[in-house]
Amino acid sequence: MRYCGKLGFADEVEETAPSVFTEKMTERTYYGDVLEFGRQMQMGDKVNPDITVGNQLSVLADPFANAHLYDLRYAVFMGQKWQVTSVKVQYPRLILTLGGLWNGSTAEG
Domain positions in the chain: 2-101
pLDDT by residue for the chain (109 residues), tens digit each?
A: 999 999 999 988 888 899 998 899 999 999 999 998 776 655 566 666 666 777 999 999 999 999 999 999 999 999 999 999 999 999 999 999 998 889 988 887 5
pLDDT at residue 47, rounded to an integer:
60
pLDDT at residue 89, rounded to an integer:
95
pLDDT at residue 42, rounded to an integer:
56
pLDDT at residue 44, rounded to an integer:
60
Contacts of 84-90 spanning 24+ positions with Cβ under 8 A? 84/7, 89/61, 90/58
pLDDT at residue 105, rounded to an integer:
86
* Strand locations in the chain (E): 2-17, 20-36, 40-42, 50-52, 56-60, 72-77, 80-90, 93-101
pLDDT at residue 34, rounded to an integer:
95
- Of 51, 52, 46, 61, residue with least CA distance to 95: 61
For the entire predicted model, the pTM comes to: 0.85
Q: How many CB atoms sit inside 10 A of residue 76's CB?
A: 19
In CATH, which of 1.10.357, 3.40.1130, 2.40.10, 2.60.40 is domain 2-101?
2.40.10
